[in-house]
Each structure stands twice: as C-alpha cells, then as structure tokens.
Amino acid sequence: MSELKPSPTSGNNKLIHALRLEGRDFGYLCAHIGIADTLFLWVGVKRWLSAWAIGFEVLAGMVVIFLGPFAFSVGFIKLGRFLEKRADAKKAGAFDAS
C-alpha cells in the first residue's frame, strides 16, 4: 500500500498560497487600473485645462492612488513568504513549543 504524502497546499500552506495569489492578482489589477486612469485623466486634463499645476496635481494623485494598493499587494506577498519561512522553521524544530 502506498503511503499518502501531505498536499503542499494543506494547513498553513493553503493560507500562504492564498495570500501570495491574492497579493499578485491585486497587484496586477491595481497596475491596470492605475495606468489606465492615469493616462485617461492626464489626457483629459491636458485637453480641457491648460493649467500645468492642475495637471501635475491630478497626475500625482493618480500615482498615489496606484502606489497605495500596489504596496498593499506587495505586503500580502511578503506576509505569505514570511509565514512560509516560519512554517518551515517550525517543521525543522527551530521554535520550541514550551
């Protein structure tokens, strides 16, 4: 009878895998939305308003709106990697249960 091996996505690994996938997908989504919104607003502002200051404020605002969620998604990925390393260290006996 063959011995069953634990799935690589069992227990904590499911959470880690989910965090990494969510972070990656959220990052891609934010990149698409941020780039599209930045281009759309920049073209619109430059077409209808001639004031450079307003154009730069809108562009800076869109960069902040893009970078905030992007940093959040990178945080998800980093958290997943940290939990993965911690789980591996626990398996190796680096942490005492006492």
The continuous run of DSSP H or E covering 7 comes out as: none
Q: What is the pTM of this model?
A: 0.37
Let me know: does 16 contact 84? Beta carbons within 8 Å: yes
Q: What pLDDT does residue 15 have?
A: 66
Name the band, by pLDDT with cuts 50, 70 and 90, for residue 4. Answer: very low
Question: What are the distances in angstroms from CA 18 to CA 13, 54, 59?
Answer: 8, 40, 33
Q: Delimit the domains of the chain by residue range.
A: 17-86
CA-nearest of 25, 33, 23 to 66 is: 33
Name the band, by pLDDT with cuts 50, 70 and 90, for residue 84. Answer: confident
